[in-house]
Amino acid sequence: MLTPRQARFAFIPLAAGIMSGVISLVLTTLHVGLVPDLLSTWLRTWPLSFAVALPTAWVVLPTVQALLAKLTHTATIPSAGRHSGRLG
């Protein structure tokens, strides 16, 4: 099992690997079609895709997280004394 710190470090390479694999498979299939050597062609193109995706993800994902943190607001719970309404 991973610690939370290890999981944070593993997230970006794992996400980049999966995303680059799926995208390169789709693009390779669109480019060469469903040919008998599709798997070997895809496995030759995937490392290049990953080499581009990993550094991109290291830059883009933290930037997106920071942007979303600035755009996200947290709901505040009003204090009971100030918004209790009328009684009686």
Give the CA dihedral 12, 67, 56, 19, nearest 10 degrees: 50
Please state, for a pLDDT cut of 90, what percent of the chain lies above it. 77
Retrieve residue 71's tokens: 């755009």
Which residues, in sequence order, are CB contacts of 66 under 8 Å at separation 6+?
A: none
Share of the chain residues as helix, strand and coil, in percent rounded to the nearest 5: 70, 0, 30
pLDDT band at 15 (very low <50, low <70, confident <90, very high): very high
pLDDT tens digits, 43-85: 999 999 999 999 999 999 989 999 999 999 887 766 655 555 5
Instruction: Annotate 23-45 with DSSP letters as a single string.
Output: HHHHHHHHHH-S-TTHHHHHHHH
Give the pLDDT of residue 81.
57
**Average pLDDT of the residues in 27-48:** 96
